[in-house]
Amino acid sequence: MGLHARARPRTLRRQYRQQPIHHGDLFLSNKRHQRARARSAPGADTATAPAPDAAGIQAFSFGDPTPVLEHGDILDCFECWKNGEWYEPPINLAGLAKSFNAGVHHSSAIHFKANVLASTLMPSKYLSRDAFKRLALDFLTFGNCYLEDRPSRSGRPLTFAHALAKYMRRGIDWDTYFFVTNHGTAHQFEKGRVFHLMEPDVNQELYGVPQYLSALQSAWLNEAATLFRRKYYKNGSHAGFVFYMTDAAANTQDVDNLRQAMRDSKGPGNFRNLFMYAPNGKKDGIQILPVSDVAAKDEFFNIKSVTRDDQLAAHRVPPQLMGILPNNAGGFGAVEPAARVFARNELVPLQSQFMAINEWAGVEVVRFAPYELAAGEGAA
C-alpha cells in the first residue's frame, strides 16, 4: 500500500464482498440484513440507530415451486444397501408396520383380503391355517413373506413355519436369510431352507414392495385429519365463543352481573337461557361470535372421503364388501356380483402366487378351494 493510499477498514471490505443473505425463499439485501442484526444485538445503542425508512410499497418474490418427489429421485440410482452380510430392504419395513394402522380403510382392506384368502385354504399336515394367515398378512403388508422348511431327521419335509417378514433380511449370496431384531442380534437360517415370496419391484430384484405404496400419502392424510379433529374436540374449542359487547348504555355493574350469570350457567344443567335488558341499546351492541366457525370450515369430511377412495382404489376392494355406507341414494349396487368380480380379479391371482410354495418345496403344502357364495348370500 502506497503512502497516499487511504486504508479502508477490513470490516467494510467484507461488507461489500458479502452475498445477499438468503432466508428461506426470501432474499434480503446486505444493508437491510445488517440493520436487522444491529437492532437485535444485545446492548445496541438505540439513540444512534438510523431512522426507519419511509413507508412505501415493498415487493418480494418467493422461490419457484418445488415438486415433492424431486429430491427423492436420487435414491433410484442406488440399489439395496449391503452391510457385509445381508442386503437392507429398499423401504423401511418398520415404517410400513406403523402405517398399517394409519387409516381405517387401509388396515381393514388388508385384513379382509387375508381373511378371504385364508378361508379358501385347505390345510395340510405341512402348513396350518393360522400359519398361512400370518403368511398372507405379511405378504399383503410388506410385499414379502417367508416360509422356513423344518425337515425331519431323514431330510424329508416335516413342517413349514412362518417367519416374520419385518425382521427378515436377504444374504449377499441371495440364498441365505437372516432374522435381525431391533436389538441388532441376527439369526442365520440354514442355506436353502427359506422360501421367499415377493411382489415384483421395478427398481430391484432382492425384495418385494407392497402394491399400495402410492396410497400411503392418502392414509397418512386421513390419519392427520382424524387426529386434528380429535384434538380439536378434546381441547373444548368446539363449544367456545366470544361474547362481544360494545353497547355504550351498559355500565360496569351490568357487565359484572352478566359475567356472574354466565358463570352460574356452568355445571349440571348448563343449557340455560340468559336474559339481558339494555335500555337504549343498539342492534349490534351485544354479539356472540362462535370460535368453532373457524375450524368448522376445514375440509375434514372431504379429506376423509377422498382419502378413503384412494385407499380402496389402491387395494382394489369394493366398498360394499368393506361395510361402507353409501352417500348417495343409489348405493354401491348388489354385493354378490361385486364379491364374484373381486374373487376373480384379486383372489385367484393371489392364490396362484402362493402356489409357488409347492414348486419350491416339492410337496403339496398349500391347496385352495374355489371361492363360492352360499345360496342366499349377497342378496341386494
Give the pLDDT confidence of 299-339 residue by residue, as tens digits.
788 899 999 999 999 999 999 998 888 887 778 888 999 99
Counting the structural domains of the chain, the total is 1
Cell numbers at 149, concatenated: 422348511
- Average pLDDT of the chain to the nearest whole number: 79
In a domain, 358, yes or no: yes
In a domain, 5, yes or no: no
Q: Which range marks the domain in which residue 380 is found?
A: 74-212+316-380
Give the model's pLDDT for residue 281: 72
Give the pLDDT confidence of 231-258 residue by residue, as tens digits.
877 776 555 667 777 776 556 777 787 7
In a domain, 47, yes or no: no
Q: What is the reported pTM? A: 0.69
In a domain, 119, yes or no: yes
Judge residue 317's burial from the number of C-beta atoms within 10 Å of its C-beta, 0-12 exposed, 13-18 middle, 19 or more buried.
Answer: buried
Query: Residue 208: pLDDT above 90?
Result: yes
In a domain, 297, yes or no: no
Q: Pick from 41, 36, 34: which is nearest to 14 by CA?
A: 34
In a domain, 113, yes or no: yes
Distance from the first to the final alpha carbon of the chain: 98
Query: Residue 16: pLDDT above 50?
Result: no
Using DSSP's 3-state secondary structure scheme, residue 196 falls into strand
In a domain, 302, yes or no: no
d(CA 361, CA 367): 13
CA distances from 296 to 219, 229, 233, 305 (A): 22, 10, 11, 16
Query: Residue 13: pLDDT above 50?
Result: no
Question: Looking at the DSSP assignment, which residues form a beta bridge with residue 168?
Answer: 179
Query: Residue 221: pLDDT above 90?
Result: yes
Residue with cell 354378490: 336
In a domain, 301, yes or no: no
Using DSSP's 3-state secondary structure scheme, residue 3 falls into coil
Give the pLDDT confidence of 24-43 residue by residue, as tens digits.
444 444 555 556 555 555 55
Give the model's pLDDT for residue 330: 76
